[in-house]
Structure 1
Amino acid sequence: MVSIEITSAERVALTEALCEALNPLASAVRARETGLPEERMWDADPAEVALSVLAAWKVVDEEVERLTAKAARTAGAYGASYERMGAAWGITRQGARKKWPDAVNRSAAAAPEWEPVTVELFGGSAELAWDPARGGWRWAGQGADGAHGEADGALSLTTREEAAAHAGAFLKEHGTVSGKPVRGRKAS
């Protein structure tokens, strides 16, 4: 199993980003529970405020679990095994299979390499399929913003991975993360 380490500076930045993302949710939860405006979230019994923050972290935890399962399914769609997923998560192959039972489709893994695959990224999805007329792979998809795209007919995509890369670039260009457009973000 691989142990992913982050620096203390990365941990501080991550904590700040998570708290910044959590505060509006915690304020909204607290406002609904009390009927008070969000800006008065802290004008209450500290235990009640802390419990509201705890409830908001529970929502974040559930969303992280959902996004984690989606990432595992995407990795499986690209051919990653449970062994590799487990290594990435720091658990055994069996642990990965138990955590994400639908991430690796055994029949798809045993199916011929030219079977269509659906990829979901950045709030959109694309289907990758073998095009016998062109003797190559094609993709067609819809981004989170509703834009439709497909492989350029003049471009020869010789592998499924190449088609997936082109589809992924389109989905990123027309996608969202946490409801915000991806465009304009710097790669980290």
Structure 2
Amino acid sequence: MRTLAPRIQAIREHNKGDQLAQNQQIMALYKEEGVNPAGGCLPLLVQAPVAFCLYKVLNITIEMRHAPFYGWIRDLSAPDPTTIFNLFGLLPFNPAFMPEMLHIGIWPILFGITIWLMQRQSMVSMDPAQQKIMQFMPVIYTIFLGRISAGIIIYYTWNNVLSYGQQKLIQMQIDRGVKKGGTAVRKP
């Protein structure tokens, strides 16, 4: 998708007023190059059951209750105990009177940052209107997932960090192949 981005952008600029022609030409380009635009959704079908099982294990299993982790996380089945309102535990302030949805800890913020990094890596070929909407997704994820089990947030934060690194490595190899005169997309 990244190698097709300049061509997709050219199609969008050439057919600025005609959305139907834009979409038809982009789909023809995908077909010509053998690219499936929905291919990025396939890993979600594998990850969804894993996320559900992880959630159930951390919230239901008795053995996981009060299982200590590293640092300030004393219970993997409970939300991150730090909050942004007391500077993550540095101030002697208890923000218990504030809505629980706003109690955002360090791990949920790190999770939001990794979501943002992953999006920056993959938003090259998105429609500009879709890009504007997707810019708010890390904030939404941070707020709504900030009060779930710390174990789940830690798992997905590290998963995002490793996925980001893996994608960066793959992209560097593709770029290196293109600079040496090779092709980035190999056809069978």
TM-score by length of structure 2 reads 0.30
Pick the structure with more helix per residue: 2
Pick the structure with more strand per residue: 1
Report which structure shows greater RCO (CA 8 Å, sep ≥6): 2
